[in-house]
Amino acid sequence: MATQITVSLLVALLLFVHTCGVWAVVEVNMEEKVEVMRGETAQITCMYTSDEGIGGTTIEWLVVTRSGEEKAIYFQDSFHTKTEPNTPYTDRISVKRTGAEEVVLTINNVQLQDEREFICRIKSLTDGMGMGSTNLRVFERPNFPTIESRTEGVTADQDKLSEIGTCQVKNGYPKPNITWYRNNTPLRSVTNEVEVSSSTTTESTGLFSVLSKLSLNVKKEDKDADFYCEATYLLPGFSGMSETEHINITVFYPSTEIHVWVESPKVKIKEGDTVVLQCSGNGNSPASFLFKHNDVDLPGEADVKVLENVSRQNSGVYQCTSTDMETFEELLNTTTVSVNYLDAAVVTPRENVSMAMGQELEATCNALSSLQTQTVWLKDGEEVSKGHILNLKAQSLDTAGTYVCVVTVPEIEGMETSSSLRVFVKSPPVLKEDDVTEVETEEETVVLSCHARGYPVPTITWDTKDGKKQSDPNFRILSDDSSQSTLSLKVDSNATVFCKASNNQGDDKATFNIRVKTTVYTTPVATTTTTTTTTNNTIPISNVTVKPKTPNSAEKVKAESNGVIIAVIIICILLLAILGSVLYFLYKKGKICGRSGKQDLTKEKSSKDNIVVEMKSDNTEESILLGANGEKQPPRD
């Protein structure tokens, strides 16, 4: 019986254990991959379900090595947690429970070697177990790509591949890719046409560097082609792209034709200019050039020919011959150069011309030119006539002068020539008279001036009224038909001076009457009053310059004193006149001299113009009546 009970208990226990094993099933869910940039922090989440709850499970984190081995890095149960020592993650990982059935593995400072598979394993107390895994992906952005072109040129149509350039991108992870473009079109390797070769280098850091080389069978059309490359790379969640700068290559190809032209000047050429000839072909290959002028070789083998200070002899046909340095094929072309000229102007008559009054003259001006010309005549800078013929009539001395003929070419700026004609008009001298000058002081030095016009140039002489010649006059020739003479003359009395201008056509004379103004100072014996007597004379002079004598300081003081005395005398005379009038008035009223009443002035009628004034002598007390004209009148009763 006891045995049966024991068996029953064992069966029940086995059934219980079996039932518990079924209930303890664990399910684990994880992301397929986690992406992160190198040096950043990665978080891997492990979510699970278990019937035993938190206290009945253990958590393990493992990493799969390069050899495929699963190596534990972390352990946790109900009683303790443990980070496995001596692993690459010992100091860089941490595990945190973020929910009842969720834990997160955090990896700091992620490196390239961390790109592994990480496993989360959950175990129950009844040996139920579940596990999941996540692949950690690590990324590094590469440097900006660079491109280098071939330094030397490439000859086209050689039926072989020629290197165009290289493109490089460094320090990327995973490995970046490089694509070449020609005129925005991607290039792929094509046998005998295009070849793109790449090589990859793993740096000591584990990053990748890629070098790509492009080779082409170069055609003439590639001279204008635009080449560049593009680097593509992966980053967390997206793809990146960087583009290099664009390059061109030098393509050599032979010319099929050449051209030669005048590079400068761009306007019509004139004598004295510097002319630059340019020769160029439509190809691009080393070549030599030879210039010829009228079938005569010119020195040099460059594609530019400079002709300095050209003349009309440089006109003609210029030929340029180009020789290809590889094929030795010759091409040639020509251009015509025309050097315009303007000869010196020739005036007829060529000598100086002397004209009589009223005479007429026709002068011509001509200049040989390759282009149409215009001619004007100038006198004293002003235009007096148009055309190559100048007609003159000697009407006065103003007709004389220098006439300049200016010939210009309107089509070319600055192209001109000139010549001149000197015309003289024969005329007797004519003196120019100036205003009269008044001499203010005595003992003056008078400067007399005579200005004469005439042709031939007049000579000028000076003499006085008594026939005395004046020596050392200042004589100047002002122009071909005018002269001037000045005479400095010291005078102390009135004088007459003659100026005479003469030439072979006649003469002219001017008279200068000098009237000196004198000042006399007198001093009366009885008084200190100085009386000044002034005599004024006027001198009609032609351009007289007077240098008055400057008085000394004593004379200035004396003159001022005389003025004060004269003013005092005038005031005294006025006071005496007023006093006399008052006394006369009182006398007539009988207020003085014992008289009273009115005087009878009607006893004897006087004429209308007679005014009688009675004056008494102080010595004889005799009354005398004076008429208005100073005649004595008999006394009245």
Contacts of 300 (CB under 8 A, 6+ apart): 291
Q: How far is CA 542 from CA 199, 449, 514, in A?
A: 112, 7, 11
Helix (H) or strand (E) holding 589: helix 553-589
Is residue 15, in this structure, part of any structural domain at all?
no
Tokens 């010549």 belong to: 419
- Do residues 262 and 296 share a domain? yes
| Nearest residue to 230 (alpha-carbon basis) of 206, 217, 212 | 212
- Do residues 184 and 240 share a domain? yes
The pLDDT value given to residue 34: 97
| Nearest residue to 349 (alpha-carbon basis) of 296, 295, 434, 420 | 420
- Do residues 293 and 388 share a domain? no
Structure tokens at 268: 């019509």
Decide: 209 and 169 in contact? Cβ < 8 Å: yes
The pLDDT value given to residue 24: 52
Is residue 585, in this structure, part of any structural domain at all?
no
Q: How far is CA 408 from CA 348, 375, 523, 553, in A?
A: 18, 7, 82, 70
Rounded to whole angstroms, the Cα distance separating 608 from 612 reads 11
Structure tokens at 103: 């834990």
Spans of the chain below 50 pLDDT: 1-23, 435-441, 525-560, 594-637
The pLDDT value given to residue 588: 75
Q: Which one of 220, 251, 282 terminates a domain?
A: 251
Q: Which one of 287, 316, 340 terminates a domain?
A: 340
Instruction: State whether residue 22 is helix, strand or coil.
Output: helix
The pLDDT value given to residue 634: 44
Domains: count for the chain: 6
Q: How many CB atoms lie within 10 A of CB 290?
A: 19
The pLDDT value given to residue 551: 37
Is residue 92, in this structure, part of any structural domain at all?
yes
Is residue 543, in this structure, part of any structural domain at all?
no
Structure tokens at 300: 């040099």
Tokens 């000028």 belong to: 460
Is residue 591, in this structure, part of any structural domain at all?
no
Is residue 268, in this structure, part of any structural domain at all?
yes
Backbone angles phi, psi at 291, to 5 degrees: -100, 145
Is residue 217, in this structure, part of any structural domain at all?
yes
The pLDDT value given to residue 512: 85
- Do residues 244 and 269 share a domain? no
Q: Which one of 314, 340, 366 terminates a domain?
A: 340
- Do residues 391 and 467 share a domain? no
- Do residues 184 and 222 share a domain? yes
Rounded to whole angstroms, the Cα distance separating 401 from 353 reads 10
Tokens 């072109």 belong to: 149
Rounded to whole angstroms, the Cα distance separating 238 from 232 reads 11
What are the DSSP E strand ranges found in 564-619?
613-616
Produce one character per residue of 427-459: b if its CB has 16 or more CB atoms within 10 Å, e if not.
bbbbbbeeeebebeeeebebbbbbbbbbbebbb
- Do residues 282 and 371 share a domain? no
Tokens 């059309």 belong to: 221
Instruction: State whether residue 278 is helix, strand or coil.
Output: strand
- Do residues 451 and 395 share a domain? no
Structure tokens at 557: 């003081």
- Do residues 185 and 237 share a domain? yes
- Do residues 229 and 315 share a domain? no
Range of the domain at 53: 24-139
Decide: 474 and 487 in contact? Cβ < 8 Å: yes
- Do residues 465 and 490 share a domain? yes
CATH at 280: 2.60.40.10
Rounded to whole angstroms, the Cα distance separating 542 from 437 reads 8
> pTM score, two decimals?
0.52
Rounded to whole angstroms, the Cα distance separating 168 from 430 reads 102
Question: What value does the CA radius of gyration of the chain take, rounded to a whole number of Å?
Answer: 67
Rounded to whole angstroms, the Cα distance separating 49 from 61 reads 17
Contacts of 491 (CB under 8 A, 6+ apart): 439, 444, 446, 514, 516
Rounded to whole angstroms, the Cα distance separating 261 from 337 reads 9
Structure tokens at 379: 């006198």
Contacts of 69 (CB under 8 A, 6+ apart): none
Rounded to whole angstroms, the Cα distance separating 525 from 545 reads 40
Instruction: State whether residue 293 is helix, strand or coil.
Output: strand
Structure tokens at 109: 């400072």
Helix (H) or strand (E) holding 181: strand 177-182
The pLDDT value given to residue 582: 85
Strand partners, 316: 337
Q: How many CB atoms lie within 10 A of CB 78?
A: 11
Greatest Cα pair distance in the chain:
222
Instruction: State whether residue 36 is helix, strand or coil.
Output: strand
Rounded to whole angstroms, the Cα distance separating 100 from 48 reads 9
The DSSP code for 412 is S
Is residue 506, in this structure, part of any structural domain at all?
yes
- Do residues 219 and 289 share a domain? no
